[in-house]
Structure 1
Amino acid sequence: MNRAIRYSSKKVFLIALVIGILPLALGIPLVYLKSVSDLSRTSNTAAHEAFRQINVMLSEAEAAAKELSDITGLPCSQAAKPLREAVATYRFLRATSLATDNKVYCSSLYGSDVNITVNPHDYLRGRLRLIDQTASGSKTAALILRTQQAHKSALVSIDGRHIQDALHLIDKKSNLSLKVGNHWMTQNGVVDNPPFENEPTAPRSVVSNEYGFTVSAAYPAGTLFSHTLETYSIILGLLLALGMFSGLLTYWMLGRVLAPSIELQRALSADEFVPFLQPVFSSTSGKCIGAEVLVRWNHPHEGIITPNSFIPLAERSNLIIAITRRLMHKTAQQLAPHASRLEQPFHIGFNVCAKHFENFDLVDECILFLKAFKPGTVILVLEMTERELVKPTPTALELIERLHELGVKIALDDFGTGHSSLSYLQRFKVDFIKIDQSFISMIGADALSVHILDSILDLALKLDLQVLAEGIETEEQRDYLGACGVDYMQGYFFAKPMPVSEFLKTILNHPDFSNKTAWTDSHSQTGKRLTSPVR
Structure 2
Amino acid sequence: MYDPSNSAGGKLSALHGPAGARRSFAPRLTLAIAALCCAAVTTGAVLWGERYADHEVEARESLIGHDMVESLDRMLTNVRTQRRDALLEMVGQNCRDIALPLAELETYVQYVRGINLVDHHQLYCSSALGPLSMPLASYVPRGTPGSHGVIVNLLAGTPFQPGTPVISMYEPSGDGKGVEYTIEGVYVTDTLAHGIRYGAQQVILSMPGSGVLTDKGDFVPSIKTPTDVGTRVYSTQWPFSVAVLASATLATEMHWRYGLLFGALAILFDLLIVALALLALAPHRQLLAAVRRGLRLGQLHVVYQPVVEIATRQIVGVEALIRWTHPRWGSVSPSVFMAQVERSPLISRVTRFALHSAAADIAQKTTIRPLRVAVNIAPLDLQRKDFVADVLAVNDTLPPGVTLVLELTERFLLEKQPRTQAIFDVLKARGVQFAIDDFGTQHSNLDLLGRFPFDYVKIDGQFVRQVDRGGAALIRAIAAVAKHYGMEIIAEGVESEAQHAALRELGIPFGQGFLYQRPTSARELHVEPEPGMAATRP
TM-score normalized by the length of structure 2: 0.46
TM-score normalized by the length of structure 1: 0.46
